[in-house]
Structure 1
Amino acid sequence: MSIAFGGALLPQVEAVTLVVVLLTACVMDLRTRRIPNGLVVVGALAGVGFALLDGGLGGGVHAVAGLTVGLLVWLPFWLLRMLGGGDVKLFAAGAAWLGPTGAIEAAMIAGLSGGILSLLYLAQRHGLRHTLFRLVHGVQHPALLREPTPSAWDHRMPYALAMAAGLAGAAHWPGLIR
């Protein structure tokens, strides 16, 4: 199932609902560095609900499979404390709209978006020169990247932006990465 951004009314309502959920999560993450569980639940239920309306029981199974794949893709990153739980749950909820194949595609786009956003975030917080210096030395000597950073650096990036970019990209352009 793919989200249609034009055509019949139901797919348009579906697309607008997904965009509202993702934008709300981004705003909340930017403001508070948290994504409310209520928003994630609403997003997941809406994704499964629209899938049931579109494709009956098969559509619902497809949506739950997407949610499961979306959760499993990012769960290891949460377990390693590389991502927040809200980011993982947001992605899983959004993946319910895309199904399992769309979830994999969205994860690839989100990973690429996250890498770019991380570099921009580090450059903004610590300066371009220091960020590039650390990146170049990290590529040459990967063990240096495992060294703990100063406590002043212990700020989380709002990763909902990357998750939303991946989900919206895969919804709008299904098959983009295939």
Structure 2
Amino acid sequence: MDGGAGITAILISGLVAAVVFDCSESRIPNWLIVCLAVVGIVLHTWMGHLGGLLQALAGLLVGLLCFLPFYVFGAMGAGDVKLLAAVGVLIGPAQVAFAAILTVIAGGVIALIYITVRGGLLQMIRRYRSMLMSLATMQPRYIPPAPGEAAGLRFPYALAIACGTALAVI
């Protein structure tokens, strides 16, 4: 197995494990993220020497910075941010930036499916309609989801990260 195939196998294995943990335990373990990052750094350094190390560290930084604002504003868990940073180690800075964009799109699609399956689509549409109507009155306001409303529930975002990363790598 060459280095690229090995990195791809590690990436797929790590993302599958992250999705399983996130779906079953609503968290992504730090040990998994650290293992992905360390193995990625070691492999890239071994294959590309100093250039490989710098590429891996740049991927880590870009992956971290892409989702850190979402965490700061409470829209995402720390495990999701750290997972994208570990993905960045494996796929590099340019691809992880693209993966982050595709992840946000995949996350939106998954969220709509999740909300629809949980029976909350009509509630969400009504809420957004009210917010749009408030724009017409020149008094825009945000209406948060009601307690228990499907649009206010969290879903395992590792699935969106896995989908976005897969699309970026393909």
Q: 1:149 aligns with which of 133, 145, 151?
A: 145
Give the alignment of 1:21-170 within 5 angstroms.
Answer: 21-138=14-131, 143=140, 146-153=142-149, 154-170=152-168
- 1:158 maps to amino acid: P
Instruction: Determine if contact 1:33/1:156 at 8 Å carries over to the other structure.
Output: no
Residue type of the alignment partner of 2:30: N
CA contact (8 A) 1:119 1:131 kept: no
4+ aligned runs moved over 6 Å, structure 1: none
Q: Secondary structure at the match of 1:126?
A: coil
AA aligned to 2:80 is D
Give the TM-score taking structure 1 as reference length: 0.83
Gaps of 5+ in 2: none
Q: Is the 8 Å Cα contact of residues 127 and 143 (structure 2) preserved in structure 1?
A: no
List per-residue Cα deviations over 1:109-137 (Å, max 9, x = no partner): 10110111111111122344334444555
Larger radius of gyration: 2
Distance 2:39 2:132 in 1: 42
- Contact 2:29–2:79 (CA under 8 A) maintained in structure 1: yes
RMSD of the alignment, in Å? 1.9
How many residues in Structure 1 have an aligned counterpart in Structure 2? 164
TM-score (norm 2): 0.87
Mapped partners of 1:138, 1:147: distance in 2: 7
After superposition, the Cα gap between the structure-2 partners of 1:140 and 1:111, relative to the gap in structure 1 and judged at 3 Å, is farther
Match of 1:20 among 3, 13, 16: 13
Bigger relative CO (Cα 8 Å, ≥ 6 apart): 1
Change (3 A) 1:47 1:168: farther
- Measure how far apart 1:138 and its partner are: 4.8
Cα offsets for 1:17-37 (capped at 9, x unmatched): 110000000011011110000
Give me the whole-angstrom Cα distance separating, in 2, the residues matched to 1:62 and 1:138: 44
**Ranges in structure 1 where 5+ consecutive residues have no aligned partner:** 1-7, 174-178
Is residue 2:10 matched to residue 1:10? Answer: no
